[in-house]
Amino acid sequence: MEISESQHAPHKNLLPLYLSGGIIGLVIWWLIYRQLLPFASFLTYSVLNIGKSSHLGASVEFFFYDTPKVLMLLTLVVFGVGIIRSFFTPEKTRLMLAGKSEFVGNILAALLGIVTPFCSCSAVPLFIGFVTAGVPLGVTFSFLISAPMVNEIALGLLYGLLGWKIAAIYMGTGLSVAIIAGWVIGRLKLENHIEDWVKEIRVGAASIEEQTMTWQDRIIYGWDAVKDIVGRVWIYVILGIAVGAGIHGYVPEGFMASIMGKGAWWSVPLAVLIGIPMYSNAAGIIPVVEALLGKGAALGTVLAFMMSVIALSLPEMVILRKVLKMRLIWTFIGVVACGILIVGYLFNAII
Amino acid sequence: MEIKVLGPGCAKCQQAEKLVKETVAEMGADANVEKVTDMMQIAGYGVFSTPAVVVDGVVKCAGKVPKKEEIKQWIGK
């Protein structure tokens, strides 16, 4: 009710209330966050009385520490990204991209992919909207690769579980793959492999009413994003961490090194191939990834696996098939898979 | 009044459709609610993020599930 009241009575300003509430919330968040590790140890070794240095103890402590930590960080990141996203709409993004030169357009599209609100079920209308407005095909693909791959859930979880460095590496390489793969697809001149009916569409002139947002609306928008996303993925996070905790406690140190280590050259392409038909959201896959890394899997291989699972998924291909001919779909998969392969080998070589 | 909910059928689109129908029934408004799933038609409205709600040919919102209060305002006028 607060919302509709504020729309009817613009003078009633709740912003100071929201801001002070937000600051208090942040302080409480920080106080709880700092106590998580001692609390997890206390719960595991004193309350549950599990022996220190036992396999079970390691698993249980890991679970009690990581679950609240990841959910708290996820909440914060999703809220922050939600506020940023309230400044963007697919319509504005399209306006910014139309008529841009190719390479600059690819970079801009990949960056906008992070902040534009997008759900993969609107991939088709978005594709049509972009292409009919004169956004080059390659630039459109940069957006379509970046939007699902570099998202707030992946970044929030990577930051929570593996630290900001890995999150930054993921973001940087994800953007590079989106920019370069989009540029390559643009160079290949595949415009005639878009389904014919798309080109015949006349986009209606129905104007969308411009919705002006106040800061108060943006805070509500961010909070709605938290409720929506955290409410949707928490169960995957907990399941993922439970599997991760099992690996953490029971799989011997260095076990993964032989299968997913640097020495095995074939592990990167294999990770990409296995990842393509697999479909999971970032929330489920990242806790498992963390545990694999801890047991000696190479970072490049793990990054490649993760990107392949998130960026290339069967359901999205089925959706895109409505607007793209098979040859363009295969090119898309091939180019993106090559990009991910390069990322995998690069990181195995330098780290 | 003609209300159209545009969306290919993802979870959010169904949520939007349900909410619009509920609100119309609640207010007892004389409105015809129709779900549009055809991509060509959706694109024809110039909408490229779903779900979207169109009231009497005007796109009221796109890319999100509207709030009940918003729907009431659209129908109320």
Determine the structural domain holding residue A123 and report its residue range: 14-197+220-350
Cβ separation of A90 and B42 shorter than 8 Å? no
pLDDT of residue A180: 94
Residue from B3, B6, B13, B20 carrying the catalytic annotation: B13
Q: Is residue A6 part of a domain?
A: no
Q: What percent of chain A has pLDDT over 90?
A: 18
Burial class (CB in 10 A: 0-12, 13-18, 19+), B29: middle
Mean pLDDT for the stretch of residues B60-76:
83
Confidence of residue A337 (pLDDT cuts 50, 70, 90): very high
Q: Would you say B54 and B31 are in contact if contact means Cβ atoms under 8 Å apart? A: no
Q: Mean pLDDT, to the nearest integer, of A185-206?
A: 78
Contacts of A272 (CB under 8 A, 6+ apart): A304, A305, A308, A337, A340, A341, A344
Q: For residue A339, what is the enclosing H or E element?
A: helix A326-350
Is A102 a domain residue? yes
Q: Is residue A277 part of a domain?
A: yes
Q: Look at residue A210 and tell me if it is in a domain.
A: no
Residue A2 belongs to a domain:
no
Set out the domains of chain B in order of their start, with CATH numbers: 2-76 (3.40.30.10)
Q: Which of A90, A202, A209 sits opposite B63 (nearest CB)?
A: A90
Mean pLDDT value across residues A173-180: 94
Q: For residue B49, which residues of chain A lie inside 8 Å, CB to CB?
A: 89-91, 117-119, 122, 125-126
Domain count, chain A: 1
pLDDT higher than threshold 80 for residue A351: no
Catalytic residue of the set B1, B2, B9, B10: B10
Per-residue confidence band for A247, with pLDDT thresholds at 50, 70 and 90? confident
Overall average pLDDT of the B59-77 stretch: 82
In this structure, is residue A9 part of a structural domain?
no
The reply to whether A107 falls in a domain is yes
Q: How confident is the model at residue A210, as a pLDDT?
A: 61
Specify the residue for token string 């390489």: A173
The answer to the question of residue A66 being in a domain is yes
Q: Across residues B11-38, what is the average pLDDT?
A: 86
Looking at residue A138, what is its pLDDT? Answer: 92
Q: What percent of chain A has pLDDT over 70?
A: 93
What is residue A111's predicted lDDT score, i.e. its pLDDT? 93
Residue B77 has pLDDT above 60, yes or no: no
